[in-house]
């Protein structure tokens, strides 16, 4: 694939270093503003991914506790705790995470979210999930 100089005519490259820095800063702030508008979804995502890493601990403890119970009771408790309990945990913790990200401020939102995902990745690696 060759680039035709005419096809690049609409592309305005910065003429100076301060202009390039302004372009990078403007793009960074646009990304931060876009992420700030989606903080509830990002908070829910962070909590859900973390729960997926450690939810098996809860289900294992429940399985050990209820192993001698009759099947219908075990099934009911499992559905209630794992199904509704997971939803309740995610729904109640996600707003706290969202508020924490909001407290960081828009200008530091990109590194904060990136660091959160890196920490979750490290936790996943240590728990043997990846």
Among 11-15, 18-22, 45-49, 105-109, the range scoring the smallest mean pLDDT is 11-15
The answer to whether 35 touches 42, Cβ cutoff 8 Å, is yes
Give the range of the structural domain holding residue 109, as residue numbers without chain letter.
39-126
Model confidence at 55, pLDDT cuts 50, 70, 90, reads confident
The answer to whether 46 touches 120, Cβ cutoff 8 Å, is yes
Whether 27 maps to a domain, the answer reads: no
Of 95, 99, 101, 96, residue with least CA distance to 116: 101
Q: What is the mean pLDDT of residues 71-82?
A: 87
Whole-angstrom distance, CA of residue 84 vs CA of residue 63: 16
The answer to whether 101 touches 42, Cβ cutoff 8 Å, is yes
Among 51-55, 89-93, 99-103, the range scoring the smallest mean pLDDT is 51-55
The mean pLDDT value of the chain amounts to: 88
Whether 17 maps to a domain, the answer reads: no
Whether 46 maps to a domain, the answer reads: yes
Whether 3 maps to a domain, the answer reads: no
* pLDDT value at 3 more than 80: no
Among 11-15, 16-20, 79-83, 116-120, the range scoring the smallest mean pLDDT is 11-15
Whether 109 maps to a domain, the answer reads: yes
Whether 98 maps to a domain, the answer reads: yes
Length of the chain: 130
Whether 82 maps to a domain, the answer reads: yes
Q: What domain count does the chain have?
A: 1
Calculate the alpha carbon distances from 108 to 24, 31, 35, 84, 104 in Å.
Answer: 15, 11, 11, 34, 6
Q: What is the pTM of this model?
A: 0.77
């Amino acid at each position: 694939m060759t680039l035709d100089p005419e096809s690049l005519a609409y592309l305005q490259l910065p003429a100076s270093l301060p202009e390039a820095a302004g372009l990078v800063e403007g793009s960074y702030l646009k990304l931060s503003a876009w992420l700030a508008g989606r903080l509830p979804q990002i908070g829910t995502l962070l909590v859900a991914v973390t729960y997926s890493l450690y939810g098996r601990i809860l289900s294992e403890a429940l399985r050990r506790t209820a192993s001698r119970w009759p099947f219908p009771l075990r099934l009911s408790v499992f559905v209630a705790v794992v199904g509704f309990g997971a939803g309740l945990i995610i729904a109640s913790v996600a707003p706290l995470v969202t508020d924490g990200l909001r407290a960081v401020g828009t200008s530091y939102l990109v590194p904060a979210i990136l660091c959160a995902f890196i920490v979750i990745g490290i936790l996943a690696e240590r728990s043997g999930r990846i």
